[in-house]
Structure formats: C-alpha cells, structure tokens
Amino acid sequence: MKKLLLSLALSLGTLSATTVMAAAPAFSASQMSQVKIKDLSFKEVMRQFYSGRMGYASVNDEYVESMPNIGLDSIDSDGERTVALMRPVIPYKNVAGEPRYLVIIEKVQVKDGSLVSCHACTATADLYSFKKLNNGQFQLISKTPKNVDYSSNWGRVGLNQESIQEGLQPLGKSLIGSVFLNNYMSFGTISSWWDVLHLPENDFINLYTLGDAGAENSGHYEEGSPLHYDYNVTFKALPENATYYPIKLTYKGEKPTEDYDRINSVNYSKIVKFDPVKKEYK
C-alpha cells in the first residue's frame, strides 16, 4: 500500500511539474533571435505569429477600423469573434542606446460587426520587441508570455500609445521600460494607478502594477463638500547599481483612509522595489 501511495505521489508530482513547465516556458534569447521578418508591417507580423488562426471578420466599428485588423480563431458560442488590431510601432532605445521597436497587437472581441464594449468588458494584447539588422530585416528580441494580465475596460486594453512612449526610461542597470498611467471611472470617482512595462532583452516582456496614482471624486461631490477628496501620486526611478531600480512614490493632496472613515491632507513618500521572484512591485 505504501509503495502504491508513493508511486501515486511521485506521478502527481511529475504531472504537476510538467504542468508548471508547460505554463511557463523558459526564455531563450537564441530562439527569439531565430525569428526574422522583412519589415514591421501588419501583414508580416501577423503571418509570422498568427498563421493558421486568421480569417475574415465583418467589422463596422470606428475604433477597430482605425487600425489594421483581422479576425482570429472562430466565432464562439456567444457569437463573438476575436479581432487583432495592430497599434502604430513604438520606436525606443535600449540602455546601450541601440534602436529598438515595440509592436503591440491588441485583441478585442467583436459581435455583429461592433466592438463588445461595456464597463467590465476586457481585452488583451501580445507585445513584441525587435531590432533592425544590417540587411534591413527585423529580428525578434523578446515578447510577452501567454496570459499577461492587462487592465482594460470598455472592451479595450489599457495600453495608451502616447503614455507608454512618454514614460520610456531606464528601470534597471540593463533594463529599459515605461511607467504609464491608467485610470478607471465609477460613480463619479476617477481612480488612477501606475503600470510598469518591462522591456528586457534577456527575459519576457511583462506588465506590472506599480501602485496608486491618485483619485478624485468631484463627479460625486463638489469641491466645498467635506466628503470631497483629490490627491495625486508622482513617481521617480532611483538609479543605482541594481538589476531593478527602486521607485519613489510621492502622495500629495486630500486622501481618504482605506476604510474611507476619514479624509486627511497628505504629503509623504514611500519607496517600492521589484521582487523578481514574486514578479511584483511592493
């Protein structure tokens, strides 16, 4: 009996380990570098990464039609179809000053030709970074792994093009990335937070939440109301000889307590650091 239980435990352990490995494949720079395309056009990117999944999708939606788009996979049981959109390419430089190019393929849901849009409707995206070779081709540097968790609402992913480009900066001794703003409005209150995009060349591209960026409820209470609050949070990366730079968050304004029992004037800072094991800023 003990032998049977031991054998079963070992089998389950092996199965569990296999599942984890399958869900999180190791990053391989050499495998990435084998991917080369002649240009960063919508046609070339989609043929390289989505072959066998593309098909015609009927679209009559201003947002979807504002970018190159094509249907992915099949229509689901709710009558929805995934449609891939290609954002404009974002040029940037790595920490060595070498030109790089970020490609964002947003994946939204379309039904009866229109974007599936509601307060809780989500979208996702695949991100790819490239460098240009001497022969004019573009070589893949890195990409996002599967199942990256993006903030999104109204059926669109929270990756603002201009904010990402403006927030590009060194975030570690060998790491370039972007700190950019996202927000959400509900019942007259606008809540904001900072997201951090890491663009490494020795690991997968990934997105992390840095922390609170502020909030204000003027859509619900006038400025003279004792229940009105408005505060903002600024950030500053603190360069040092570290893989990931600490980031200082500074809070100013009138901020409610966590239980919303009181509203206090605040002016303080705290430092958050990236935990490479847990993959989070804290």
Instruction: Give the whole-angstrom CA distance, residue 102 versus residue 206.
Output: 13
In angstroms, rounded to a whole number, what is the distance separating the alpha carbons of residues 118 and 153? 7
12 CB contacts (<8 Å, ≥6 apart)? none
Q: What does the pLDDT read at residue 153?
A: 83
With a pLDDT cut of 90, the percent of the chain lying above it is 83
Note the pTM of the prediction, 2 decimals: 0.88
Average pLDDT over residues 114-128: 92
Closest among 242, 247, 159 to 207, alpha carbons compared: 159
Which pLDDT value is given to residue 242?
96
Output the pLDDT for position 24: 64
CB neighbours (10 Å) of residue 264? 11
Tell me the mean pLDDT in the region 199-222.
96
Q: At which residue do the structure tokens 């056009």 appear?
A: 41
Q: How far apart are the first and last CA of the chain?
A: 47
As a whole number of angstroms, the distance between CA 44 and CA 273 comes to 38
Hey, which residues does 193 pair with through a beta bridge?
182, 212
Rounded CA separation 147/243 (Å): 25
> In the prediction, which pLDDT does 178 show?
98
Q: Residue 78 has what DSSP assignment?
A: T
Q: Could you tell me the pLDDT band of residue 44, with boundaries at 50, 70 and 90?
A: very high
Q: What is the dihedral of CA 109, 112, 114, 115, to 10 degrees?
A: -20
- Residue/partner pairs of 244-248 with CB below 8 Å, 24 or more apart: 244/171, 244/172, 244/175, 244/273, 244/274, 244/276, 245/170, 245/171, 245/172, 245/173, 246/271, 246/272, 246/273, 247/171, 247/179, 247/196, 247/210, 247/271, 247/272, 247/273, 247/281
**How confident is the prediction for the chain on average, in pLDDT?**
91
Q: In this structure, are residues 27 and 204 in contact, taking their beta carbons and an 8 Å threshold?
A: yes
Q: Supply 230's token pair.
A: 């408005």
Pick from 76-80, 84-88, 277-281: least confident: 76-80
d(CA 85, CA 71): 9
